[in-house]
Amino acid sequence: MKDDKTDPDHEGEDAVTEDEAAVSGDAATLGEAQEETDGGSAEHSAERDLEAELAAAQDAALRAQADAVNMQRRSEQEIEKARKFALERFCGDLLSVVDNLERALESAGDDQGIASLLEGIELTRKGLMDVLVKYGVESVDPMGEPFDPETAQAMSMVEQPDAEPNSVIGVMQKGYTLNGRLLRPAMVMVAKAPSE
């Protein structure tokens, strides 16, 4: 009997067996490579998902930071506005005192018997106005200017041939502003064109 190894018929079988082993080895390697590719694909997909979540979280953090900055800015503006106009009602009430002092001075005329009293009233009025001006109150006296409904209230219209139509020809009561905002409109008489 011959050795199987030298038998030419068995040589072909060995070659086939080696080829089959090589093919199944390649298949196993291919299967492992496929598993690695699938695993790599899953890892890549998970990485993309994490990057997307990170980008969304960073965007949310930036938006939250911007909201906080805007809220702080709004709060500061509201505090500043409240500070500026907190005196509005108080100053409005003091204006009636100023009006009364001015009326007292106007009604006294040139009576020399009360000259020292009038001087005291004038000093009181001036001191009160200085304090009001210190806190942002300014008077609006539109005498001779065109009528502005934003700062004045027309109490009457009078024909005045020598005055420009729609101009202020008399101020019955001064107006006042507080930090540029109208506190009280001036009460005025307005000229109208003569009727023909």
Q: What is the CATH number of the domain that holds 157?
A: 2.30.22.10
Which helix (H) or strand (E) element contains residue 103? helix 88-108
Is the separation of the CB atoms in 182 and 151 below 8 Å?
Answer: yes
Among candidate residues 157, 158, 183, 10, the one with its CA nearest the CA of residue 85:
183
Enter the pTM of the model: 0.58
Q: What is the pLDDT of residues 140-182, one digit of tens each?
A: 989 989 999 999 999 999 988 888 889 999 999 999 999 888 9
Examine residue 11 and state whether it is found in any structural domain, yes or no.
yes
| Helix, coil or strand: residue 154 | strand
Sequence length of the chain is 196
Domain boundary among 103, 120, 135: 135
CA distances from 87 to 47, 90, 93 (A): 61, 5, 10
Structural domain boundaries, residue 125: 87-135
Same domain, 69 and 10: yes
Same domain, 148 and 193: yes
Same domain, 111 and 71: no
Phi and psi for 164 in degrees, rounded to 5? -65, 130
Strands 137-140 vs 181-184: parallel, antiparallel or unpaired: unpaired
Radius of gyration of the chain (CA): 48
Same domain, 16 and 78: yes
Same domain, 53 and 95: no
Examine residue 1 and state whether it is found in any structural domain, yes or no.
no
Q: Give the pLDDT score at 26.
A: 52
Same domain, 22 and 70: yes
Q: What is the pLDDT of residues 54-89, one digit of tens each?
A: 999 999 999 999 999 999 999 999 998 887 777 888
> Identity (one letter) of the amino acid at 91?
C
Tally the domains of the chain. 3
